[in-house]
Amino acid sequence: MSLQCIGEDNWVDTRTVYIGHKEPPPGTEAFIQQRFPDNRIVSSKYTFWNFIPKNMFEQFRRVANFYFLIIFLVQLIIDTPTSPVTSGLPLFFVIIVTAIKQGYEDWLRHKSDNAVNHCPVHVVENGNVVCKQSCKLRVGDIVLVKEDESFPCDLILLSSSQHDGTCFVTTASLDGESSHKTYHAVQDTKAYNNEREVTSIHGTIECEQPQPDLYKFVGRINIYMNNEPVARPLGSENLLLRGATLKNTKYIYAAAIYTGMETKMALNYQAKSQKRSAVEKSMNAYLVVYLCILVSKSLINTMLKYVWQADANRDEPWYNQRTEAEKHRHIVIRAFTDFLAFMVLFNYIIPVSMYVTVEMQKFLGSYFIIWDHEMLDEETEERAVVNTSDLNEELGQVEYVFTDKTGTLTENNMEFIECCVDGYVYVPHAICNGQLMPDAVGMDMIDTSPGPDSREREELFFRALCLCHTVQVKEEETVDGLKHGSHHGKSSSFYISSSPDEVALVEGMKRLGFTYIRLKEGHMEISNREDEIERFELLEVLTFDSVRRRMSVIVKTSTGEFYLFCKGADSSIFPRVISGKVEQIRSRVEQNALVGLRTLCVAYKRLSPEQYQEVCHLLSNAKLALQDRDKRLAEAYDLIEKDLILLGATAVEDRLQDKAADTIESLHKAGIKVWVLTGDKMETAAATCYASKLFHPNTQILELTTKRTEEQSLHDVLFDLSRTILRQHGNMTRNTFSSLSDDCTDYGLIIDGATLSAVMRPSQEDSNSGNYREIFLDICRNCSAVLCCRMAPLQKAQIVKLVKTSKEHPITLAIGDGANDVSMILEAHVGIGIMGKEGRQAMRNSDYAIPKFKHLKKLLLVHGHYYYIRISELVQYFFYKNVCFIFPQFLYQFFCGFSQQPLYDTAYLTLYNISFTSLPILIYSLIEQHVNVDVLKKDPFLYRDIAKNSLLRWSTFIYWTLLGIYEAFIMFFGVYFLFDNTAFTSNGQMFGNWTFGTLVFTVLVFTVTFKLALDTHYWTWINHFVIWGSLIFFVVFSLLSGGIIWPFLNYQRMYYVFIQVLSSGPAWLSIILLITASLLPDVLKKVMWRALWPTTTEYIQMGPDSQGRDTAAVGHCLIRLLCTLLCVYKYT
Amino acid sequence: MMASSYNAKEEDGPHSGTPGLGGAAVTKSKKPDNTAFKQQRLVAWQPILTAGTVLPAFFVIGIFFIPIGIALFVTSNNIKEFEIDYTGVDADSPCYSCAKDFSWNSTTSCTCSVDFKLEQPFESNVFMYYGLSNFYQNHRRYVKSRDDSQLYGDLSALTNPSKECEPYRTSNGLPIAPCGAIANSLFNDTLELYYVDSNGTRKEIPLVKKGIAWWTDKHVKFRNPGGNDNLTVSFEGNSKPVNWRKAVYELDPTDSENNGFINEDFIVWMRTAALPTFRKLYRIIQKKSSNTATLPSGNYVLEITYNYPVLSFDGRKRMILSTISWMGGKNPFLGIAYLTVGSICFFLGVVLLIIHHKYDTRNTSADIPS
């Protein structure tokens, strides 16, 4: 603890704080006064001044925005085929809307920062308590915190209202542990417990510079009494963290040491970075491909143009001269201008509207999550919250789920379920009027009438539970949330303990008739069933530790007998038991553990006074040891806690959330790996995992814990495990897939925080450094479930990061409810907050927040699935329809002397993406359901069909692109051959180039819309309205725009063009023909693939309960009819 | 980009960084409405494309398309078309000298005549086209080089034509009417057709010049400034296009309804062709009586006033005579395409039928893989 060991070089890594800003007396070491930040929390991104430049910079950093900006600028500068308005208007609309939105959000952040920073705190100044704004707090200030207030910064406890200088604190919002923890003041300052006295403390605190680890703190306090410095070590038991709340203590005085952004909580808070979904990444990749297509198209056309123009009579025939200015332009400039003009002509291949549509789809689509009635919590009437809609589709891609345990999987509400004494099972709620009723249902081993001997055992067991604990009693009735249960009846006292299990046990005992009253003057008082007070003198407490996993007390009864009561995990008790009904109790314990109850075994030993003396001797020796005190103590405990007599076992339940097991099973079926990351201890966590079906009874558990790594080196353990796994894996691959489901044992891994950090630590020998991680990941990959216990918040994030950055780059999802989950929520691809009891931190930092864990099932399997198929179709379709749109223009260049002549009219060019083809795909991407909601919920394995971004694979993308190119060819050359040097009206008049374009465009709009109609599996009235509506709109628009001489336009090229087209029979016929020919291959492909290689989804679609069957039956009848008709047709 | 998050209305602040202190005001949200739309449970028709459903469609398409194709093909074959190239590239062609000696400055026009023979009589109305090849009327610089306001009769555009008309905007300081490259390059060959009967006498065939342009173009889109009378006055301040031999008000001095901007030949030319090889309607030969052919088989002479140079850009000029059916001129493409697509659909229908029978039974019995 002492800082002496830290060398001079490391002085920078420590800070010195003057308590109450009092200079240390002269003559002591002079420290350089450091500058500390004030206690201001800043989560906002912009200030008033840098908003416009910073926001613009960030927006134009997006490839798409930058590209559109370039196109717009090019259009402004050079003479291009299309007007700059066509690209400028949508771009600036998008930019301004985004800027307003981001500005508003940042303003809200400013507001909440201000609220936090201006929150009043009490500071002791010159012996008076002064109220200050939180942000004005400085390092060294002495702060007064009252009960139920949370600490404004990281503080060193100086004194409290309690005389022993302790205070209780709940760190629920920091690390998720809802229990009350005890913090201690330094011995020398605990007496100064009013503001006048506390001002008189003269001292300095030396401590390390801020570190994110919540559980580590090293420091030293120097107190100058009469100018004689007294140095005391400071540890994490003295440090009160910002965000924690003072409980059950009237007030405390403490000195601020870390403030503002340097508090441990702020350091644990990771900046909320923009998350990008896998779909967006695919989209960007496609964008790059299309950019390449665009550039190469333009390059090819520019080159061909100059090859073609080499002949001067082609370049400038007499009928088509250049202006003087153009003639004098340098050829390089001309070529470059031409290149840019081609770029502009083809730029619609990457439309602004796609980004707008994607954003709209995400924004509007996320309302379905909010609206979802099934994700509404009936009790609290809370519904899901969407904090960012950018990740909707990512919900359909999740491969790993990292879940917090307490409050997420469980309700965070301990309840005593039963106890088992010598094989008799007692269930508290089966008690009527204090009368015990052994629960005999289904218990073969229970004798119906316990004899007097066992009666005695039973009472001993109850007394043991009433005595063997570290529970404190709080008399006062205060509203303290629900965590410690409500207390009905006469007693108004609370039980408080660092372990909620103990509270549950003591409360359970109370319901069984034995009430622990208080600890008074070293005597524990309990009232037994007859309401008599029994007093036991508490002699020794052998405290709980996670290595021993048990605790003991030694008491002296009023009759003078010495008893040792021990309670602990079954694994640590059974080996120390010499008698008792071990077998019955063991089977009961195992049975309970399987259903996820937290079990403890209770044993006792009667000590003779001599034995007691020996024990005292052992203990005091160990306690007085100066070196290896912990080790000595452990040895002493080991000697004392043996030869026990087993009394019974208890079972406490941290009730699982409703349908948690069902949800986890569904996720498993959907191919998602579920990891539980918890700060809780291993046994508890493992029990929960069993209860929630994360581990099955036949799951083989692999442990990677401190206990094991103490025995073997980490290296060996890791290799051992991986060998086990790989052997199994080898067998598995040899077997066929059919046996995969049942026969082979699946593995579950348990790892604890300490071991994890050892695995993660980049070791000095570089040979092994990367290896550990790899091996660890390898093991994890082959485990169906992983449990990580004793995790610090940042470790949770580390785990998520480790998996996220592993070579498969799986999509991760983190779900939690407490502030301790925030870092992993921020780290994972998708962060989900549960609206739990532990504050709103997780919810605020999450991407989505849901009321209960069970809602995750629908969120992923239904919403995620839908969003993914919707957006993938949206993306593919958008690229496809623009290939169809622009490719004919490209082809047309070959017939117009590469002159950048647009095929379509400006109105068509602008409106194609904005109005003619935008709404159907938007509506599709909002309400498409390829499979019904209920089917998706019923058959989680459908989720596997879309795993790994399967609908946006390159092959699919290439298929769509090729389809687009094919359709463009059909449309262009179809019309080309129709136009081929002939009239196609009955009056012999000829059509011009705009008619050509209009004809292609008409076919295009219809084809592209019909293609979407063919892909739609869910035709609501909205789909009908939008699909037919937009086609009608196109026709009406064309009729109107061609029917009027537009006074404000300087060209009238579309005048009557469309109407003339419609007056021509062959035009109608060719439109029908070309649409049919364009759609044919896609329909064929779909039908063939479905018949030959159907996916699971397609099977489900054709399932007996869907309409597909009926239509198929109708189809059958039709076919028969047709066949007969055909025969007739052929023979006549 | 547009709206990626809207936590704002749910919570006071997105993340304040301090638990407890911020005092997050949690607004208890109301129960969401349980409408079918919001719960994504709208009534919907859920069609699925399977071999079974698509099969009938394929057969139907086949059955409809094949007869249409046959009808189109037959119609197209019944149309009579005659085409003759009169450019004068070869030395032995009649217009060789006219083509070779072409000069913009010559005041006299060169004429030449081409003989040809129609093997079959043209029964119904015959449409006479001129065709140009390798002429890029769809070049961007060319297409935009016009001023529709001027052609609409706008007076300000008459005196100040659009900049798009450059370099055919002004000439000798005066604004050109009609301005632009398209107008400037107006096709100005004159074609006359003579029937040579058996005793060698030429009989001029009356060519109707009305109805060759779109009705809407002639009556709405194109207008003379200041009405159709006194065109000379209207175009006083304008210069004629540089390559024209006569001013715009001299295009058809005989008919005031066909002069100036509303001259039908001019209007036809102003509708830029889609492809570099194109034809434009020149004249219509109307059927006189029901018992004689419009153009009986026999020998004809085409008299050409050769004004329009095309050899410089390797172009060709043609004269086309064609009858017209309900589907327009001769074009076998549509018929063939219909037949092809129809047959393919039919064939695919058969293939799918086989697949359907072979696989569908297997599929339904197979288990759903999990």
Residue spans of the domains in chain B: they are: 54-79+329-353, 88-120+136-274+297-317
Last residue of a domain, one of A234, A262, A290: A262
Which chain B residue lies closest to A1086 (C-alpha atoms)? Answer: B49
Q: Is the pLDDT score of A435 beyond 50?
A: no
Residues A935 and A805 in one domain: no
Whether A431 and A511 have beta carbons less than 8 Å apart is answered as yes
Summary mean pLDDT of chain A: 81
CA pair distance A427, A592, nearest whole angstrom: 13
The region of weakest confidence among A40-54, A537-551, A624-638, A825-839 is A624-638
Find the range with the poorest average confidence among A173-187, A400-414, A571-585, A640-654: A173-187
Q: How many CA atoms lie within 13 A of B151 on its CB side?
A: 30
* Helix, strand, coil tally for chain B in percent (to 5): 30, 20, 50
Radius of gyration of chain A (CA): 38
Cis peptide upstream of residue A609 (ω within 30 degrees of 0)? no
Whether A426 is in a domain gets the answer yes
List the end-to-end C-alpha distance of chain A, in Å, as a whole number. Answer: 106
Interface of B with A in 266-325 (CB under 8 A): 268, 271-281, 284, 309, 312-314, 322, 324-325
CA–CA distance, A52 with A11 (Å, rounded to integer): 42
What kind and span of H or E run contains A577?
strand A577-579
Q: A1098, A1121, A1093: which is closest to A1108 by C-alpha?
A: A1098
Q: Quick check: B187 pLDDT over 70?
A: yes
Residue type, A860: L
Assess whether A888 and A812 both reside in one domain.
no
Q: Does the annotation mark A404 as catalytic?
A: yes
- CATH number of the domain within which A154 lies: 2.70.150.10
pLDDT tens figures, B135-183: 999 999 999 999 999 999 888 989 999 888 888 999 888 999 899 999 9
| 3-class DSSP assignment, residue A148 | coil
Q: Taking a C-beta distance cutoff of 8 angstroms, is the pair A466, A523 a contact?
A: no
H/E run at residue A995: helix A993-1015
pLDDT for A447 equals: 41
* Kind of pairing between the strands at A598-607 and A400-404: unpaired
pLDDT at A891 over 90: yes
pLDDT at B284: 94
pLDDT at A349: 86
- Partners of A40 on chain B (C-beta within 8 Å) are none
Q: Please check whether residue A690 lies inside any domain of the structure.
A: yes
Selected residue with higher pLDDT from A233 and B152:
B152
| β-sheet bridge partners, residue B298 | B118
Residue numbers in the known binding site of A for Mg(2+) are: 404, 406, 817, 821
Interface of B with A in 229-268 (CB under 8 A): 243, 268
pLDDT at A331 over 80: yes
Residues A180 and A58 in one domain: no
CA dist B108 and A155 (Å) reads 109
Domain end, chosen from A820, A850, A880, is at A850
Q: Report chain B residues whose CB lies below 8 A from the CB of A314.
A: 136, 313
Q: Is A388 on the interface with B (CB under 8 A)?
A: yes
Same domain (yes/no): A684, A827: yes
Flag whether A248 is in a domain: yes
- Residue A376 resides in a domain: no
Q: Which residues of B touch A65 (CB under 8 A)?
A: 1
Q: Which residue has the higher pLDDT, A324 or B143?
A: B143
CB B348 within 8 A of CB B61: no
Q: Quick: pLDDT tens for B71-100.
A: 999 999 999 999 999 998 888 888 998 888
Strands A533-545 and A523-527: antiparallel
Specify binding-site residues of A: 404-406, 502, 544, 567, 598, 678-680, 790, 796, 817, 820-821
What is the Cα Rg of chain B in Å? 33
Q: Kindly report which listed range (A932-941, A947-956, A1098-1107) carries the lowest average pLDDT score.
A: A1098-1107
Residue A373 scores a pLDDT above 90: no
Q: Are residue A1014 and residue A925 in the same domain, yes or no? A: yes
Query: What per-residue confidence (pLDDT) applies to A171?
Result: 74
Higher pLDDT, B280 or A88: B280
Span of A16-30, A117-131, A1022-1036 with lowest mean pLDDT = A16-30
Helix (H) or strand (E) holding A496: strand A494-496
Residue B60 CB burial class (10 angstroms; 0-12, 13-18, ≥19): middle
* A803 in a structural domain: yes
Handedness of CA A829, A834, A839, A840 (dihedral sign): positive
Judged by DSSP in three states, B274 sits in coil
3-class DSSP state for residue A615? helix
Chain B residues within an 8 Å CB radius of A67: none
Q: Is residue B263 pLDDT above 90, yes or no?
A: yes
- Three-class SS of residue A833? strand
Examine the pLDDT at A548 and tell me if it is beyond 90. no
- Provide the token pair at A550: 């048990």
Asked, for residue A732, whether it belongs to a domain, the answer is no
- State whether B152 and A386 contact (CB < 8 Å): no
pLDDT, tens digit (0-9, with 9 covering 90-100), for A263-314: 887 776 655 666 778 888 888 889 889 999 999 999 999 999 999 988 888 8
Question: B181 with A326: CB under 8 angstroms?
Answer: no
pLDDT at position B307 over 60: yes
Environment class of residue A906 by beta-carbon count within 10 Å: exposed (0-12), middle (13-18) or buried (19+)?
A: middle
Q: So what's the pLDDT on residue A277?
A: 81
Of the listed ranges A191-200, A599-608, A622-631, A1088-1097, the one predicted with least confidence? A622-631
Name every chain A residue with its beta carbon within 8 A of the beta carbon of B135: 317, 319
Position A996 scores a pLDDT of 94
Are A875 and A928 part of one and the same domain?
yes
Asked whether the predicted pLDDT for residue A96 surpasses 80, the reply is yes
Q: What is the pLDDT of residue A32?
A: 63
Query: If pLDDT is split at 50, 70 and 90, which confidence band does A1113 have?
Result: low
Check pLDDT > 50 for residue B26: no
Mutate to test the interface with A, among B46, B122, B242 (most CBs of A within 10 A): B46
Beta bridge partners, A841, equal none
- Residue whose structure tokens are 């949206």: A874
| Distance in angstroms (rounded) separating the CA atoms of residues B268 and A479 | 92
Helix intervals (H) in A78-175 = 85-117, 172-175
With a CB cutoff of 8 Å and minimum separation 6, the contacts of A435 are: none
Q: Domain limits at A464?
A: 410-438+453-475+493-655
| DSSP assignment letter at A947 | G
A150 and A110 housed in the same domain:
no
SS (H, E, C) A1027-1096: HHHHHHHHHHHHHHHHHCCCCCCCCCCCCCHHHHHHCCHHHHHHHHHHHHHHHHHHHHHHHHHHHHCCCH
Nearest CB among A112, A997, A1091 relative to B359 is that of A1091
Same domain, A964 and A1008: yes
Confidence of residue B4 (pLDDT cuts 50, 70, 90): very low
Please give the angle made by the CA atoms of A778, A782 and A786, to the nearest 5 degrees.
Answer: 95
Instruction: Give CA–CA dist B151/B223, Å, rounded.
Output: 6
Is A934 found in the same domain as A792?
Answer: no
Separation between Cα atoms, residue B156 and residue A1022, nearest integer Å: 50
For residue A212, pLDDT over 80 is answered with no
Q: Do residues B183 and B263 touch, judged by C-beta distance below 8 A? A: no
- Is B209 touching A (CB cutoff 8 A)? no
pLDDT-based confidence at residue A987 (cuts at 50, 70, 90): confident
Query: Domain total for chain A?
Result: 5
| Within-domain flag for A163 | yes
| C-alpha to C-alpha distance for B316 and A1035, rounded to whole angstroms | 38
pLDDT for the residue numbered A628:
67
- Asked if pLDDT for residue A481 goes beyond 50, the answer is no
Return d(Cα A471, Cα A183) in angstroms, integer: 15
pLDDT band at B7 (very low <50, low <70, confident <90, very high): very low
pLDDT value of residue A480: 42
Using alpha carbons only, give the angle B148, B154, B160 rounded to the nearest 5 degrees.
85
8 Å CB contact of B359 and A371: no
The mean pLDDT value for B306-334 works out to: 91
Does the distance separating the beta carbons of B280 and A990 come in below 8 Å?
A: yes
How far does the CA of residue B258 sit from the closest CA of chain A (Å)?
17
Mean pLDDT of chain B: 84
For the CA atoms of A271, A274, A276, A280, the dihedral, rounded to the nearest 10 degrees, stands at -170
CB distance from B5 to chain A under 8 Å?
yes
Q: What is the pLDDT of residue B78?
A: 92
Q: Could you tell me the CATH number of the domain that includes residue A500?
A: 3.40.1110.10
Span A586-599, pLDDT tens digits? 888 888 876 767 78
- pLDDT confidence band for B277 (50 / 70 / 90): very high
Question: What's the pLDDT score for residue B18?
Answer: 34
Same domain, A389 and A403: yes
CB contact under 8 A, B11 and A840: yes
Say whether both A115 and A202 belong to one domain: no
Position A448 scores a pLDDT of: 42
* B8–A contact, CB cutoff 8 A: yes
Q: Assess whether pLDDT exceeds 90 at residue B302.
A: yes
Q: How confident is the model at residue A430 (pLDDT cuts 50, 70, 90)?
A: very low
Could you tell me if A1025 lies within 8 Å of chain B, comparing CB atoms?
no
